[in-house]
Amino acid sequence: MVRHAETGEQIAGLALATVTTTAIDKLNSLAQRSPKMFLPMSRKLLYWPCVVSHKRADAKHNKQLLERLEVGKQSIYSRGEWQPKAPTNRVAMNILDLARKMERDGQLPPLTKDTKRKWFDESWNRALWAGWKPEEDARLSGIGQSKAKKKPKYCKKLHPATSQSNLRAAIKGQVGTHSTTWSLRDS
């Protein structure tokens, strides 16, 4: 159905919307009646599926369901104010996923306030080692461009390698500040 909808077949798109809204409605009715069934999963999730509407009652109902299911209470992501769709946050989330894998493999200690910088630096370096080039990442285009044009104090000319290094450092700084999306365990 999805494949057909992606090619522009309207009937496939409508069917997908119908199946999805019906499934979400049934899921949320079940969750409303038996929240304990879903708590082990919902507490770890950043999102919970719901049907969005302009109606205030629907928004209120969705918010109550999120609270009842304790969505995100044990998530790896912070419950603070941040935008999941922001490019730097998306990259910080990817870096966190890599760091969690490294922790599972015994390459990093548990994430705490004291180990957060190590987690970020080690996983950032691992991503670079694997071939990721943040300065070529479309999600991050435009970030740090002014730093890339900054000539070092005692140089007469800005060399391409210096420009690229400045750009990468600026991107790392921006993504690093957005690692606030990471939920910390007690130190």
Instruction: Pull the structure tokens for residue 156.
Output: 């007469």
Instruction: Give 137: exposed, middle or buried? Use CB within 10 Å, 0-12, 13-18, 19+.
Output: middle
Provide the β-strand partners of residue 185. Answer: 112
Asked whether residue 34 falls in the same domain as residue 6, the answer is yes
Structural domain that includes position 133:
87-181
Q: Which of 68, 95, 116 is the last residue of a domain?
A: 68
Q: Which of 68, 101, 117 is the last residue of a domain?
A: 68
Specify burial of residue 147 (Cβ count, 10 A radius: 0-12, 13-18, 19+).
middle
Whether 40 and 96 map to the same domain: the answer is no
pTM exceeds 0.75, yes or no: no
Q: Which of 37, 68, 99 is the last residue of a domain?
A: 68
The 10s digit of each residue's pLDDT in 97-155 is: 888 899 999 999 988 878 888 988 999 999 999 998 888 888 777 765 555 556 666 66
